[in-house]
Amino acid sequence: MCLAVPGRVDAIYDEQGTRMGRVDFGGVVKEVCLACLPEIAVGDYTIVHVGF
C-alpha cells in the first residue's frame, strides 16, 4: 500500500543543479526534490510519497 501526505513548501533552493524544497508535514520538516514541479512556490502544498 502506498501512502502520500500533503505538506506546505516552506523554502525552495538549488542543490547541485536540482530544485529542492523544505516541506512541512504538520510539524515534521523534510527536504524533497521539486524538479518535477517547476511552478510550485513557497506557501503552496504538494503531495509527497511517505517513503521518499
Question: What pLDDT does 38 receive?
Answer: 94
- Rounded to 5, what percent of the chain is helix, strand, coil? 0, 60, 40
Topology of domain 4-49 in CATH is SH3 type barrels. (2.30.30)
pLDDT per residue over 1-52, tens digit each? Answer: 788 899 999 999 999 999 999 999 999 999 999 999 999 999 999 999 877 5
Q: What's the rounded Cα separation, in Å, for the pair 18 and 13?
A: 8
**DSSP state for residue 1 in the 8-state scheme:** -
Q: What's the rounded Cα separation, in Å, for the pair 23 and 32?
A: 7
Give, in degrees to the nearest 5, the angle at Cα 38 between 37 and 41. Answer: 85
